[in-house]
Structures are given as C-alpha cells and as structure tokens.
C-alpha cells in the first residue's frame, strides 16, 4: 500500500496474489475454551505474552470451533435465549483472543497474502480480510484486501457510521479517536496507506496490525506509541464489536462481500 516505490528499492516482495478465492473446508470439533492474553509494555517496546494453548490447538480447529459456535448462537438467539449484545461480546472475544493470536509474529510484506499464520507473509489488508474471513464472515478476502482503506471500511461497516478524524498533531488525533470509540474492536484505516484493528479494552487503545515498520510483522501495540499512527494525520474508524449490521450478517451466515 504505502510508499510503493520505496518498497521496490528495498527489494521487498510486491507480487500480487490471484484474485480467485478458494473454498474453505471446515470439520466439526468440540468447542475449545477462550485463551487469555497478557500484554506487557516496556517504554517503546510492547511484548505480548500469550498464555494460550495455541501449540496444541490448530488454526483449522479454531475456525471449525467458531463456525459451530456461530450456529449454536444463531439457534439460541432465534429462541430468544440470548441477546444480540451477548453475541457481540462472544464474537469479539473469539476474534481477539482465539483467531488473531495465531497471527502474531507472521512477517509483513507489501504483497504478502498467506492464509496460514506464520507460514509466508501477510500485508496489512490481507491480515484484516483473512482474520475476518476465518472468523466466519462471508467475504472474498482478496477483493476486500485490495480496496483502499476507506472503501475497505465501507464494506466492513455494512452501512453503519464511518468516522473520519483529521488532526496534524498525534496527541489531538489520539484524543479524538479515544472520544469516538467505545469498548471493543474497531477497524481503523490510515488515510490511503494502511489498515488495522483498533481494540479498546479497559479504556486502553491498542493497535493490532501487520506492521510495515518494526517489528515488520503482525503485532499488538499501544496506539499512542505506534510509529505508524504518528506518521498519519487522517483516520477512518468503523465499529466491529458494536456493529449490529455486521454481527447479524455473521450470525445468519450472510455475505458481506
């Protein structure tokens, strides 16, 4: 996306993938408990200590578990046994604590489009589209990843509000983003150059993205300390956790893109 000519000079991989999406084969397994994540911050470096059993839970099994969970939630919601707010919380917890942690440390490249965590490389747009797809949202990950940040946000919004923040001073941009966001997960587009997830958890804003700067991989870091964040002055924000339209499409297995 960003600084294309610079990537060429640095010899980075810019080959684009085919535009035909392959089908997913899900198998049935028992539900696996949600993993826990402890985030430790030291000055400018954020180290993620994942207290999970990812070594024993395959990514394929995680996706299957979530697919079966979605079906159970749909039936319970249909019978008025659970609320949509409860489903939103479950959706967010599984995406943030079960799908995304598999991807931490996967190398970034401009043309990276691997569908398997830590095998190959992944660009920022493909990280978003692939994790949403693997969470069970029906979309073509290639088409979504190849859109501009604002157009990617429009697809994810499913018609909900999109907030645009324009501030030359990072501190002011952070304050406005903090004011506009609720607890939960959001999509954030950085002008025309980058995309990621914005997680607000217990009041703290965390950026989860495939980072083209250090560590040049998928990572989670405080938004306020992010070098990527500080290099932009325009941001597009879209609700994910609190997006009724998106969550209902996921629950009912309806196509988003």
d(CA 61, CA 67): 10
Domain membership of residue 12 (yes or no) is no
Domain membership of residue 138 (yes or no) is yes
pLDDT of 93 above 90: yes
Domain membership of residue 257 (yes or no) is no
Evaluate whether 46 touches 39 at the Cβ level (below 8 Å): yes
For 119, the token pair is 């095998």
d(CA 249, CA 137): 8
For 169, the token pair is 């001073």
Quick one: 53 exposed, middle or buried, by C-beta within 10 A (0-12, 13-18, 19+)?
exposed
Give per-residue pLDDT as tens, 153-165.
999 999 999 999 9
Number of domains in the chain: 1
For 222, the token pair is 């405080």
Which is it for strands 204-210 and 218-222: parallel, antiparallel or unpaired? antiparallel
pLDDT of 22 above 70: no
d(CA 255, CA 33): 28
Domain membership of residue 7 (yes or no) is no
d(CA 29, CA 65): 6
d(CA 72, CA 20): 30
**DSSP state for residue 252 in the 8-state scheme:** T
Quick one: 89 exposed, middle or buried, by C-beta within 10 A (0-12, 13-18, 19+)?
middle
d(CA 106, CA 123): 10
Per the listing, tokens 């398997």 go with: 116
Domain membership of residue 145 (yes or no) is yes
CATH of the domain at 122: 3.90.1720.10
Domain membership of residue 177 (yes or no) is yes
Reported as a pLDDT band with limits 50, 70 and 90, residue 56 is low
Give per-residue pLDDT as tens, 115-135.
999 999 999 999 999 999 999
Give per-residue pLDDT as tens, 189-242.
999 999 999 999 999 999 999 999 999 999 999 999 999 999 999 999 999 999
d(CA 46, CA 163): 28
Q: How large is the average pLDDT for residues 97-108?
A: 98
Question: What's residue 54's pLDDT?
Answer: 58
Question: What's residue 55's pLDDT?
Answer: 55
Domain membership of residue 16 (yes or no) is no
Q: How large is the average pLDDT for residues 13-29?
A: 31
> What is the rounded average pLDDT for all residues in the chain?
84
Q: How large is the average pLDDT for residues 29-58?
A: 41
Task: Give strand pairing partners of 164.
Answer: 236
What is the four-CA torsion angle of 101, 102, 107, 113, rounded to 10 degrees?
A: -120
Task: Give strand pairing partners of 221.
Answer: 207
- As a whole-number percent, the residues of the chain with pLDDT over 70 amount to 78
Question: What's residue 146's pLDDT?
Answer: 96
Question: What's residue 57's pLDDT?
Answer: 81
Question: What's residue 25's pLDDT?
Answer: 28
Evaluate whether 127 touches 219 at the Cβ level (below 8 Å): no
Domain that holds residue 140: 35-43+57-251
Domain membership of residue 234 (yes or no) is yes
């Amino acid at each position: 996306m960003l600084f294309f000519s610079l990537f060429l000079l640095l010899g980075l991989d810019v080959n684009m993938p085919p535009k035909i999406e392959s089908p997913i084969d899900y198998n049935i397994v028992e539900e696996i408990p949600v993993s826990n994540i402890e985030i430790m911050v030291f000055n400018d470096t954020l180290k993620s200590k994942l207290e999970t059993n990812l070594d024993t839970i395959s990514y394929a099994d995680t996706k299957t578990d979530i697919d079966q969970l979605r079906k159970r939630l749909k039936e319970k919601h249909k019978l008025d046994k659970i609320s949509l707010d409860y489903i939103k919380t479950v959706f967010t917890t599984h995406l943030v604590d079960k799908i995304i942690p598999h991807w931490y440390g996967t190398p970034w490249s401009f043309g990276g489009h691997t569908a398997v965590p830590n095998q190959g490389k992944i660009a920022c747009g493909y990280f978003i589209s692939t994790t949403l797809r693997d969470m069970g949202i029906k979309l073509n990950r290639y088409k979504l990843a190849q859109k501009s940040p604002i157009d990617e946000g429009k697809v994810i919004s499913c018609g909900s509000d999109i907030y645009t923040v324009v501030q030359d001073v990072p501190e002011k941009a952070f304050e406005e983003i903090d004011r506009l966001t609720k607890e939960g997960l959001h999509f954030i587009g950085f002008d025309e150059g980058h995309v990621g997830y914005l997680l607000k958890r217990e009041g703290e804003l965390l950026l989860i993205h495939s980072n083209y700067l250090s560590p040049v991989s998928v990572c989670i870091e405080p938004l306020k300390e992010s070098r990527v964040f500080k290099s932009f002055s325009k941001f597009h924000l879209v609700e994910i956790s609190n997006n009724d339209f998106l969550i209902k499409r996921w629950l009912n297995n309806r196509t988003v893109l």
